[in-house]
Amino acid sequence: MLKTLFSRNGATTKKGISVINGHTPIHLIEVRQVVKAYHTPVGDFIALNGVNLHIDKGEFVAVVGKSGSGKSTLINMITGIDRPTAGEIYVANHAIHRLGEGPMAEWRGKNVGVIFQFFQLLPMLSCLENVMLPMDFGNMYTPRERKERALHLLEQMQMVEHAYKLPSEVSGGQQQRVAIARALANDPPILAADEPTGNLDSKTADAVFTLFENLVAQGKTILMVTHDGELARRTRRAITIADGQIVDEKIRG
Amino acid sequence: MVPTRWRKVILDLWMHKARTLLVIAAIGVGVFAVGLVAGGQAILLRELNRGYAATNASSATLTTTPFSSELVARLGRIPGVEAVEGRRRIPAQVEIRPNETRALLITAVADFRAQQLDKIYPIGGAWPQRDGLLIEQLSLEFLNASVGDKISVDLGNGLRKELTITGLVHDANVPNARVTNRAFGYVTIHTLNNLGLGDYFTELRYRAVEADNLSAIYALNDALKSQIERSGHTVFATDTPTPGEHWAQEIIETLVLLFILFGVLIMVLSGFLVVNTITALMAQQIKHIGVMKLVGARRRQIMGMYFVMVAAYGLLAVLLAVPASMLAAQRVVLFATDLLNTQIVNNSVPLYVIGLQVAGGLGIPLAAALWPVINGALITTHKALNSIGIDQSSVGRGFWERLFAQMQQMLPLQRPLLISLRNTIRKKGRLALTLATLILGTALFIAVLSTRASVQQTLDDFLRYHRYDVSVVFARPYRTAQIEPLAQQLPGVVAVESWLTGSARRVFADASTSESVSLVAAPANSAFMDPKLEAGRWLLPTDANTLVVNTDFADAHPDLRLGDEVVLEINGRNHPWQLVGIVPTAAAGPTLYVNYNFYARLARSIGQATTLKVVTAQHDAAHQAEMAARLTGHLESAGIRVSSTRTTEGIRESNQYAFNIIIGFLVLMAVLLATVGSLGLTTTMSINILERIREIGVLRAIGASDNAVRVIVLTEGMTIGLLSWVFGSVTAVPLSQLLSHTVGMALLGIPLNYTFALDWTFIWLVMVILLAAAASLGPAHSASRLTIREVLAYE
């Protein structure tokens, strides 16, 4: 039952989505010479300046840096939320810098779970429905399986007793747990989290981080933006960004 | 199980009830208006046409010397004649209360069962009836009688008879008695004979085989006239109405025109409102779209969700508005049927109207949603998730922005006021749609009330010919020395004046004559008549054969200039007159005004009067009616035979009756337009605030009090209201002139004496400011109640 429940029947790669034009990525995530410039009334602002990065399956990577250093921009590039001005990004065998907005949403729904500081749950849907939503859009699993899977994920996040509550009826930490469950809904290989503990107290932040560690242990790849040095030190790999460039990288044994 | 995304759609509709109601109201008001105007028009025209067709209207009526039914039978055999009937009409007076009479036109037919032309249909009482009087359905109340009553009827020449009202009929060819100030009754020729009035006819009515061919009808008129004259009779007049045209064709056309005009306007304005509302809805949903895209929603899925949501709004609006509009259309038609004397046999709204409403209620919102939904679905995930509520794109450096910057330097404007003014013009497209809705609403509102004021002015001007309270018409001329002191004896009579009335024909250079026109001879210095002058001057006491004509006469004789000599045939003799003035019409046809003294000599009626005008102590309708009754009784007891009486309030009332219906309809339309306008303003203010929620947080974070936030939002709303009033009032000037002209031409055949409703313009100013304040109050209150943390972290 659980095997069926957690196998992805809709994650087959569509024609045209995974065209890599001769390049065969070795790593799960490959970022090559990525530049991101924003046009502002006072001139161009370079958020990322020729960033190169690769992440392998099962890694837990922290991206740290000061405000405005470009760390969120980097995660937006990898999740396909934003697109690079120049450079190439390959994620799970997909050249996502070439994807259009529609195929990108479809690809993201199945391959990357995204977690934000402000949770981004839809306020009119219950916690359970928020978790079911990605499966619905991605046409993953049967309707009955969607509910069972969402309840199972909420149970994993210790939120099953709040499944039928609205997001506004639970605490910030609980909302973040629901957001993590939602990110896992379509069983994506990658989780990208942008300051996931930024809006939580230290105890709750610690609990969320422990969840991430468990997910990595289950084989997920996690990329987490944080400016919490303490949390960054708990990951195996920490990348420091300053002025749009990777300036330091620490790998712990 | 409902898929989660559709659950979101349902919950969005349910959880934002105020927004859902606003959108439904925006769509519903348009659907309602279409149903009201298209449904009302469809029922009215269908029933009018059905009723008119059922009468089998005659092609022409020839008025002759008395003839018998044998001649009718002979004339029916003339080729081209489909049907022929003899009729006779007798003007009579009915005593409705002691000493109070009302006019009744009695039409006599050969046999009700054998009617072929201008048919009347039974509604109640006995039918067919050989004896007794049948009364037209809308005349019964006018005669203050009921079926079964015996009424005292003065048939002229001192012949007074009692007739029993035996039944009620519907005659689609006559108007409401209150409009004509005359009731309509029907008897058989047999009854007339029994009353001692003979069993002959004086009118020949016929219908041509080619009933739509006017040339064929004219040819038949000549053939019938020759045949009648060969039989030793004289044809006095031939009346040939336009084939297929109802007597109230012009009123109907005006009503239809107004129906269409207002229907289209309300639909367009409601369309603007729907565009604004759906845009607002999508603006509110941008962040949700970002989240849905984040978790894998495709564009077509998002578009599908929002199109379904918009269709649901449309469907709900249709479900509410269609039945409401059906009821309203049936009610509106009832008012019009009272004016046009139509019987509604079937008041069902045709299916095509409902189809039109469904198509409009679903199609217009979906069309309005097309751009905002596609635009919303196309937004990038990054942009949608980072939509923070400070709208940078709209802060431009255009003309208005520069103007405000200059104003800031020149005027000591307070910063919050400046923020309000700048906010007003930030979304120019939205402002344009809101303003267009409000300006048109304002303009039409003022135009409708100006038309109402013009009606009042016109009726007031008509009454300048009737500066008295009661007019007593005698059955024959009486000596003024006898009637004036007699009338003055009656308590409550303040002043009296004797007039002569008659008729005249203009004699042309080739000795031919015009149609007969009315002639009024009042004392030259009469205070009982004070018409405005269109040209020339009024009559002076020293005048002899001087003549003043009304515009109806002047229009019919365009060759005449002031100072010209006009030859008039009066009592069979020709006299030269000098034209000295032209006065406005009182919608009673061409009329000539001359000095009493000169005319009395000419008509050999020196010291005599056919009419007595009386001024009473009080001038209200009830008092005038009472005085008319008392005057009749008083004069008749002294042996004076009174033919009829009329009060000036009665004249005003019968003139006003038709207008009241049209104005009532127009006011209903104005209220609908005002509703659309206020909904538009409410929507715009709600969107403006929603888009600027973060900005309000910033304002509060830097020290703006709750009140300051409220004032900024309220000022913005009131600025929009004020702008709409300024432009709407200006637009109202030509619009009200056009509307007054159209309504006047339809109901009176003359343009109304135009008056701009300045009082209502300022009342509307107060209303629109209050409306704007009310529309902004909700958003202003919500904005002021949000905590700084809430708005700055607004997700």
**Amino acid at residue number B328:** A
Show residues of chain B in contact with A186, CB under 8 Å: 296
Q: Are residues B136 and B12 in the same domain?
A: no
Beta partners for residue B513, in sequence order: B507
Q: Which of B433, B41, B400 is nearest to B252 (CA)?
A: B41
Option in A108, A116, A125 nearest B7 (CB): A125
Residue A3: the pLDDT is 38
Q: Are residues B583 and B699 in the same domain?
A: no
Which chain B residue has its CA at the smallest distance from A140's CA? B296
**Model confidence pLDDT, tens digit, residues B183-226:** 999 999 999 898 888 889 999 999 999 988 989 999 999 999 99
- Is B746 contained in some domain? yes
Q: Are residues B350 and B409 in the same domain?
A: no
DSSP codes joined into one string, B626-654: HHHHHHHHHHHHTT--EEEEEEHHHHHHH
Q: Are residues B92 and B235 in the same domain?
A: yes
Judge: A105–B12 Cβ closer than 8 Å, yes or no: no
CA–CA dist B276, B270 (Å, integer):
10
Q: Are residues B732 and B784 in the same domain?
A: yes
Q: What is the mean pLDDT of residues A198-207?
A: 81
Residue B394: the pLDDT is 44
CA–CA dist B78, B75 (Å, integer):
6
Question: pLDDT tier at A170 (50, 70, 90 boundaries)?
Answer: very high
CB contact A96 to B (< 8 Å):
no
Torsion of the alpha carbons at B231, B236, B242 and B247, rounded to the nearest 10? -120
Among B219, B239, B259, the domain-final residue is B239
A contact residues 4-63, partner B, Cβ 8 Å cutoff: none
Q: Which 3 state secondary structure label does DSSP give B608? A: strand
Residue B407: the pLDDT is 61
Q: Are residues B186 and B111 in the same domain?
A: yes
pLDDT greater than 60 at residue A103: yes
CB contact A122 to B (< 8 Å):
yes
Residue B334: the pLDDT is 83
- Is A20 contained in some domain? no
Q: Are residues B1 and B118 in the same domain?
A: no
Q: Are residues B529 and B595 in the same domain?
A: yes
CB contact A81 to B (< 8 Å):
yes
Q: Which 3 state secondary structure label does DSSP give A200? A: coil
- Taking phi over 0 as left and psi of -120 to 50 as alpha, with beta for the rest, A244 belongs to left
Q: Are residues B259 and B188 in the same domain?
A: no
Show residues of chain B in contact with A146, CB under 8 Å: 4
Q: Are residues B706 and B614 in the same domain?
A: no
Which chain B residue has its CA at the smallest distance from A134's CA? B295
Number of domains in chain B: 4
- Based on the number of CB atoms within 10 Å of its own CB, is B33 exposed (0-12), middle (13-18) or buried (19 or more)? buried
Question: pLDDT tier at A20 (50, 70, 90 boundaries)?
Answer: very low
Q: What is the mean pLDDT of residues A126-135?
A: 92
Show residues of chain B in contact with A185, CB under 8 Å: 295
CB contact B288 to A (< 8 Å):
yes
Judge: A101–B15 Cβ closer than 8 Å, yes or no: no
Q: Look up the domain containing A215 and give its range.
A: 57-70+101-251
Report how many Cβ contacts below 8 Å link chain A to chain B: 92
- Is A228 contained in some domain? yes
Option in A76, A106, A119 nearest B298 (CB): A106
Number of domains in chain A: 1
Show residues of chain A in contact with B4, CB under 8 Å: 125, 129, 132-133, 135-136, 146
CA–CA dist B338, B332 (Å, integer):
10
- Based on the number of CB atoms within 10 Å of its own CB, is B231 exposed (0-12), middle (13-18) or buried (19 or more)? middle
Q: Look up the domain containing B793 and give its range.
A: 388-463+655-795
pLDDT greater than 50 at residue A18: no
Q: Which of B279, B278, B289, B284 is nearest to B384 (CA)?
A: B289
Judge: A120–B385 Cβ closer than 8 Å, yes or no: yes
Q: Which 3 state secondary structure label does DSSP give A81? A: coil
CB contact B380 to A (< 8 Å):
yes
Show residues of chain B in contact with A121, CB under 8 Å: 291
- Is A139 contained in some domain? yes
Q: Quick check: ipTM above 0.85? A: no
CB contact B738 to A (< 8 Å):
no
Question: pLDDT tier at A158 (50, 70, 90 boundaries)?
Answer: confident
CB contact A188 to B (< 8 Å):
no
- CA B279 to chain A, closest CA, distance in angstroms equals 20
**Strands of the A245-251 sheet, one edge to the other:** A112-116, A190-194, A221-225, A60-65, A237-242, A245-251
Q: Which of B740, B585, B586 is nearest to B651 (CA)?
A: B586
- Taking phi over 0 as left and psi of -120 to 50 as alpha, with beta for the rest, B242 belongs to beta
- The token pair that represents B749 in the structure block: 């055949």
Q: Which segments of chain B have a pLDDT < 70?
A: 99, 128, 387-427, 658, 690-702, 779-780, 782-795
CB contact A144 to B (< 8 Å):
yes
Judge: B299–A147 Cβ closer than 8 Å, yes or no: no
Judge: A186–B296 Cβ closer than 8 Å, yes or no: yes
- C-alpha pair distances (Å), B773 with each of B25, B767, B770: 19, 10, 5
Judge: B382–A137 Cβ closer than 8 Å, yes or no: no
The CATH number that applies at residue A158 is 3.40.50.300
Main-chain phi, psi angles of B470, to 5 degrees: -130, 135
Q: Which of B488, B495, B474 is nearest to B636 (CA)?
A: B474
Q: Are residues B206 and B285 in the same domain?
A: no
CA–CA dist B752, B755 (Å, integer):
9
